Amino acid sequence: MEYIILSLVLLAIGIYGLVTKRNLLKVLMSIELIAAAASMNFVVFSFLVGDQLGQVFFILALSVDTAMTAVVIALVLIAYREHGILDVWELSKLKES
């Protein structure tokens, strides 16, 4: 059952990236890692229980995650096109001005 620890480690790495990185693409990668860590638990518990329903939920969760990535990538492209910056802090400063 070390897969739960593996999932926790992946979650920790994702949170590390979310907190420390300022590049929007890196932030998106961190969110992807957090989502992968969370949805991994569906497969792990499905494996333990011997029920395939967990895999179905995993596929549904992964679809939502992929859709979210597509939306965020589109937003990143628009933000870069409009302002020419990818830095989260710089983008947040635009709100003040």
| Positions in the binding site for other proteins (CB under 8 A) | 1-6, 9-10, 12-14, 16-17, 21, 23, 25-26, 28-30, 32-33, 36, 40, 43-44, 46-53, 55-60, 62-67, 69-71, 73-74, 76-78, 80-81, 86
For residues 45 and 13, give the distance between their C-alpha atoms in angstroms, rounded to a whole number. 22
Q: Which is nearer to other proteins, 63 or 96 (CB)?
A: 63
Task: Return d(Cα 89, Cα 21) in angstroms, integer.
Answer: 10
> Which tokens in the block code for residue 91?
């983008």
Q: Minimal distance in Å, beta carbon 90 to other proteins? A: 13
Compare residues 70 and 93 and give the one whose CB is closer to other proteins: 70
Residue 23's beta-bridge partner residues? 87
Pick the closer one to other proteins by CB: 77 or 94.
77
Report, in Å, the least distance between residue 57 CB and other proteins: 8
What letter represents residue 82's amino acid?
Answer: E
Q: Specify whether the CB–CB gap between 7 and 37 falls below 8 A.
A: yes
The 10 Å Cβ neighbour count of residue 13 is 14
Q: How far is the CB of 88 from other proteins (least distance, A)?
A: 14
